[in-house]
A and B are shown apart, each in its own frame.
Chain A
Amino acid sequence: MTAQRTDERDNERRRAEHEPLLRIENVWKSFGTEQVFRGIDLEVDRGDVEVLVGPSGSGKSTLLRCVNRLTEIDEGAIYLDGERVTDADANVNELRQQVGMVFQDINLFAHLTARENVTLGLRRVRGFGKSEARDRADRELANVGLSDQVDSYPAQLSGGQKQRVGIARALAMDPKLMLFDEPTSALDPELSNSVLEVMERLVEAGMTMLVVTHEMRFARSAADSITFLEGGQVVERGPPERLFERPERERTREFLESIYG
Chain B
Amino acid sequence: MIAASSTALPLETVEPIAAVAAEDWLFVLDNYEYLLAGAVITVALTATSIVLGLLLGFPAGAIELYGGRFSSGVVRKAGVAIRGTPILVIMVFTFFVFPLEWLYVLPASEPFQAAVLALGVRSAAYQSQIFRGALRSIDPGQLEAAQSIGMSKREAIGYVLVPQALRRSVPGFQNEFTIVLKDTSIAFAIGLGELLRHSHDLMTQQTTAALELFVFASLIYFLLTISTNRTLDYVNDRYAIPGEG
Interface, chain A (partner B; CB < 8 A): 68, 70, 93-94, 96-97, 99-101, 103, 105, 107-111, 120-121, 124-125, 152-156, 166, 169-170, 173
Contact = CB atoms under 8 A, between A and B. Distances in A.
Contacts of A108: 145
A156 B243 contact: yes
B244 A155 contact: yes
Contact of B144 (A99, A107, A111, A124): A107
Given A96-B147, A96-B149, A124-B151, A155 B242 contact: yes
Nearest to B164: A111
Interface in B114-170: 139, 141-142, 144-152, 155, 159-160, 163-164, 167
Given A110-B164, A111-B163, A111-B164, A153 B241 contact: yes
Contact of A120 (B141, B152, B159, B244): B159
A110 B146 CA distance: 12
A156 B242 contact: yes
Main SS class of interface, A: mixed
A97 B144 contact: no
A107 B145 contact: yes
Nearest to B162: A111
A233 B74 CA distance: 45
A111 B241 contact: yes
Nearest to A94: B150
Nearest to A157: B243
Given A105-B141, A109-B160, A111-B167, A173 B242 contact: no
Contacts of A99: 148
B203 to A, nearest CB: 50
